Amino acid sequence: MTEEGYKEAAQNVTAWYRSHGRDLPWRRTKDPYAIWVSEIMLQQTQVETVKPYYERFINELPTAADLAEAEEQRVFKLWEGLGYYRRASHLKEAAETVVRDYAGRFPDTYEELLKLKGVGMYTASAIASIAFGIPKGVVDGNTLRIVSRLLNREDNIALQKTKNAFGEVMDAMIRYADPSDFNQGMMDLGAMICTPAKPVCEACPIASLCQARLAGTVGRLPVNNKKINKSILEYMTVVIRESDRYFMIPNENGLLQNLYGFAQYSCDTPSEFEQLFYDQYGVRIRLTEYVSDIKHVFTHREWRMHVYGGEVAGERSFGNRTDFYTLEEIEKLPVSTAHLKVLKSYLKAVN
Ligand code: SF4
């Protein structure tokens, strides 16, 4: 994307946020302490749950000094029900640091914020931009998804190198807008419009710039494959549909020999899958949408299947191939349990 594109995207998101952003209690202040408390609470908890906890916490302990002096039991009591109590101890420890090392004034640079206990890159960027107007883009699931779609990039967002690269894109955009409103706009865009499933592109302020929308690849982005260990095998599994029939083939060897399953390859991106399928069957297919991740445990290994829906692309179809089956026919085939789970999840998502 060009600099002009970044500029337009940043300004559109900011303008949209000013008229459509969510009105949340912690957005009525620029106090870094209050913003920090809200961000720590939001780390593993939903917005609606956090609201009353935040209000109570800030009423009872309105400054970093109050929190630093408070009895630990009192802090835990205020946290009761929010879970992940380690967050509360880190909060208190960081408040003590602010009082001891910064004379009670919250550090006002991204680098200094990162040194506080429990403050990671996301939280430091959020506080720096919202409280101090520092142009540092926030990088989390929401913004990674938006950037991946905006640029139509299949980079795996589970990898640190993608997070770094997409973080640079966020930083490139934020320079052209008010950092606080831009970051909060991206957070809200991810929560309300550019959602993982069924994004509302018609209402999106960056729809005219969105490369995935232009290419028709929104549904299959972002790519998010978390590789865990050797006994866990990762696959992309695609339910290819032609009217009311589904492509299934028997396994020739391996764990599920002779059992039927959907097309499946150990690969990382939709484009790679389409190429592998073409190489094997000579037919162009198109992955249309991401469906879900399915886990299936065998005795000594585990499959992680990233399930997508697909269709035959362009003119050529499978013709007279008999590899397509209706749902009634599939019921009579010997299908592996793993792939029955895939089918169930697919049907649930598309119906
Ligand atoms: S146009 Fe759609 S896919 Fe693209 S950023 Fe907006 S909501 Fe997301």
Q: Which residues pair with 295 in a beta bridge?
A: 304
In CATH, what class is 225-350? Answer: alpha beta
Q: What separation in Å is there between the alpha carbon of 207 and the centre of ligand 1?
A: 5
Strand 232-242 versus strand 285-297 pairing type:
unpaired
Tens digits of residue pLDDT in 113-122: 999 999 999 9
Ligand 1 neighbours by CB, cut-off 6 Å: 146, 149-150, 193-194, 199, 201, 204, 206-207, 210, 212-213, 218
**pLDDT tens digits for range 222-237:** 999 876 665 888 899 9
Give the pLDDT mean for 83-103.
Answer: 91
Q: From 147, 189, 206, give the residue whose CB has the most ligand 1 atoms within 8 Å, as the site to mutate.
A: 206
Give the model confidence (pLDDT) of 169-200 as tens digits: 999 999 999 999 999 999 999 999 999 989 99
Which CATH superfamily, name and number, covers 3-218? Answer: Hypothetical protein; domain 2 (1.10.340.30)
The conformation of residue 215, written as its DSSP 8-state character, comes to H
Report the catalytic residues: 39
Question: Could you identify the atom of ligand 1 that is nearest to the CA of residue 218?
Answer: 3
pLDDT exceeds 90 at position 39: yes
Rounded Cα gap, residues 210 and 218, in angstroms:
9
Mean pLDDT across 34-46? 92
Judge whether residue 319 has pLDDT over 60: no
Angle at the Cα of 88 from the Cα atoms of 87 and 93, rounded to 5 degrees: 95
Q: How far is the CA of 217 from the centre of ligand 1 (A)?
A: 10
pLDDT above 70 covers a percentage of the chain that reads 95
Structural domain spans, the chain: 3-218, 225-350
* Residue of 162, 155, 118, 172 lying closest to 140 (CA atoms): 162
pLDDT at residue 42, rounded to an integer: 92
Q: Round to whole Å and give the CA distance between 287 and 294.
A: 17
